[in-house]
């Protein structure tokens, strides 16, 4: 399973590429705003970080176009010209699905974001989305189960033979990452601190301190 970083902050993306070998980046308007940089400038800077690799950068179109597929397509074509690594992100709406199909026919791949039901995921698959992004953190914040949700989307993909990759998004902890991997999701995307915390364990730290004690009392040669 691939690990994507959910961020538009270059000072997070650079170390995550170097230390964790993350496989891709997902951005959204919140992340771009948090970067403190203009949209086009920051996405191009992120594109430079992955230039020459197969790591993708999901770049979100203007949410105002959610009910106008021609506008999504126009913006998607413009963004796709900026970098071969860019994947165009649009919402799971009737017009978002249609834009995905039109862009696919142009050779431009899409990430269908804001997915909250198995049927939305199925329509993204039918429209040849490269990625579909079920937002599990938002569901859980709303008191809804997300484990069965992910399982259902995986079952649909496998039973129907679609190639769309399931990109589990809005991931909040290591348990969710492990679950997504166990049931066959292709990718998770999470923030920098979620990965940092997930890679740590108190027993690992305790074990290092314990072994250090023995190491220090033992001659090396």
Residue with structure tokens 């009737």? Answer: 94
Cβ atoms of residues 90 and 62 within 8 Å: no
Helix (H, G, I), strand (E, B) or coil at 84: coil
Distance CA 157, CA 161 (A): 6
In this chain, which stretch among 9-17, 22-30, 68-76, 93-101 interacts with ligand E4P, using CB under 6 A? 22-30
Contact between 91 and ligand E4P by CB under 6 A: the answer reads no
Nearest to 60 by CA among 95, 31, 97: 31
> One of 78, 89, 98, 139 is an active-site residue; which one?
89
Contact between 61 and ligand E4P by CB under 6 A: the answer reads no
Residue with structure tokens 């990759």? Answer: 165
Contact between 170 and ligand E4P by CB under 6 A: the answer reads yes
Smallest distance from ligand E4P to CB 30, Å: 5
Q: Based on CB atoms, which residue is closest to ligand E4P, 128 or 172?
A: 172
Q: Based on CB atoms, which residue is closest to ligand E4P, 6 or 75?
A: 6
Contact between 166 and ligand E4P by CB under 6 A: the answer reads no
Distance CA 140, CA 81 (A): 36
Which residue from 72, 169, 177, 180 is in contact with ligand E4P, where contact means CB under 6 A? 169
* Number of neighbours of residue 1 by Cβ within 10 angstroms: 16
Q: Based on CB atoms, which residue is closest to ligand E4P, 113 or 164?
A: 113
Alpha carbon distances (Å) from 213 to 121, 151, 200, 218: 52, 45, 21, 9
Q: Based on CB atoms, which residue is closest to ligand E4P, 116 or 212?
A: 116
Contact between 186 and ligand E4P by CB under 6 A: the answer reads no
Is 89 one of the annotated active-site residues of the chain? Answer: yes
Distance CA 171, CA 191 (A): 8
Q: Based on CB atoms, which residue is closest to ligand E4P, 60 or 123?
A: 60
Smallest distance from ligand E4P to CB 114, Å: 8
Instruction: Give, as ranges, the residues between 117 and 156 that touch ligand E4P (CB under 6 A).
Output: 133, 135, 137
Alpha carbon distances (Å) from 175 to 88, 92, 153, 180, 186: 29, 26, 18, 9, 16
Binding stretches for ligand E4P (CB under 6 A)? 6, 26, 28, 30, 58, 113, 133, 135, 137, 169-170, 189
């Amino acid at each position: 399973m691939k690990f994507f970083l959910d961020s538009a902050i270059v000072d997070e993306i650079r170390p995550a590429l170097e230390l964790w070998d993350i496989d891709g980046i997902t951005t959204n308007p919140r992340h771009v705003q948090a970067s403190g940089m203009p949209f086009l400038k920051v996405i191009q800077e992120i594109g430079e970080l992955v230039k020459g690799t197969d790591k993708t950068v999901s770049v979100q179109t203007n949410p105002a176009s959610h009910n106008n597929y021609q506008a999504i397509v126009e913006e998607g074509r413009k963004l796709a010209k900026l970098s071969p690594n860019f994947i165009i992100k649009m919402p799971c709406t009737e017009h978002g699905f249609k834009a995905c199909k039109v862009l696919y026919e142009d050779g431009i791949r899409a990430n269908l974001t804001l997915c909250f039901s198995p049927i939305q995921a199925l329509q993204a698959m039918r429209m040849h989305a490269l990625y579909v992004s079920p937002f599990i953190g938002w569901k859980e914040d709303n008191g809804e189960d997300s484990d069965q949700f992910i399982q259902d989307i995986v079952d649909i993909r496998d039973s129907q033979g679609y190639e769309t990759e399931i990109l589990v998004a809005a991931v909040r902890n290591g348990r969710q990452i492990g679950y997504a991997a166990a049931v066959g999701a292709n990718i998770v995307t999470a923030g920098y601190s979620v990965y940092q915390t997930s890679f740590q364990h108190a027993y690992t730290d305790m074990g290092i301190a314990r072994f250090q004690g023995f190491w220090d009392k033992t001659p090396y040669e």
